[in-house]
Amino acid sequence: MRLLLRLAERAGEIVSIDDLLDHVWSGVIVSPDSVYQAVASLRRLLGDDPKRPTYIETVPRLGYRMVATVSPWVDQSVMQTDAETSSSRASDSEHPTPSATDAPTPGVCLRDGFVWAVGVALGIALASAFLSYRKVANSNHPVSPAIVQQPQKSIAVLPFLDLTEGMKKEEFADGMTEELIGKLSKIQGFLVPAPTSSFYFKGKQIPVADVAKKLGVAYLLDGSVRESNSRLRISARLIRAENGYVIWSETYDRPLGDILMVQDDIASKVTNALRVSIEAKPEPNKTVIDEPQH
């Protein structure tokens, strides 16, 4: 919200990374990666396409710009009531004319109206996602029956996020996803949905349990790609679908060179780590579910 407000306050202007760090993360020492990740999250919530932005535009090597129209939010019913009140006061000579200090300033109207409107919109989106997660996590049963029935050695690779500045590595992130799917599918006994199934969820905000149920898997693997100077950082994490907990995560730093070799190297390391993590997990105990109810 602080990031959105800062961009909105300077709508149409280029806001530098340093400016955002100073105002949004005031008093906290963070790297520019925090800005990139926050902008990417904000775009997903707003449904904004970074290649054809309608809200936030990336200005290479300079910063970001709010391209959406920003204007005061005005409640028409309040305006009508205010107009009627003003008319009544003007016709009644016994009541003094209100002082200029009683009128709201344009700046206050803009800020309060924008905060209210955007706050409601984002609040609804975040609350819906949170309640969907809690509905699964707080179920009366320790494990959702639909998830329990999924094969233990089943995993879906979700599209990796491109968190580089300007999102210049989307093709690399997509290639990383396909490389992992290919590597994991070669492990005997592992069930891995095809890339077309995984890429269906690209850019969508869907609870972990729902994604796993739709794909019929017990685990989900997701990750991100970031870039700093001449190095790439690939992060990956393994999520247990039944409870949404991360049970393994790792970060890999590689120099920018042969992209295909980097993808193959990282995919091999992630695959080996995941095979150990998943095979070490015992099959879920289904006794409670399979027992007849008395």
- Write down the pLDDT at residue 81: 66
Domain boundaries for CATH 3.40.50.10610 within the chain: 145-279
Whether the Cβ atoms of residue 206 and residue 191 lie closer than 8 Å to each other = no
Q: With the CA atoms of 113, 114, 119 and 125 taken in that order, what torsion angle do they form, in degrees rounded to the nearest 10?
A: 120
| Spatial CB neighbours of 158, under 8 Å, sequence gap ≥ 6 | 177, 198, 201, 202, 211, 220, 221, 222
Strand order in the sheet with 63-66: 14-15, 63-66, 56-59
Class of domain 145-279: alpha beta
- Write down the pLDDT at residue 139: 46
Average pLDDT rounded to a whole number, residues 268-292: 63
Domain boundaries for CATH 1.10.10.10 within the chain: 2-66
Q: Which tokens sit at 76?
A: 């028409």
How far is it, in rounded angstroms, from Cα 243 to Cα 227?
Answer: 31
Whether the Cβ atoms of residue 4 and residue 20 lie closer than 8 Å to each other = no
- Write down the pLDDT at residue 142: 43
pTM of the predicted model over 0.85: no
pLDDT digits (tens, 9 = 90+) for 82-103: 666 666 665 555 555 555 444 5
Where is 83: in which H helix or E strand?
A: helix 76-91
Q: Higher-confidence residue: 46 or 102? A: 46
How far is it, in rounded angstroms, from Cα 269 to Cα 249?
Answer: 12
DSSP state of 191: B
The CATH code belonging to domain 2-66 is 1.10.10.10
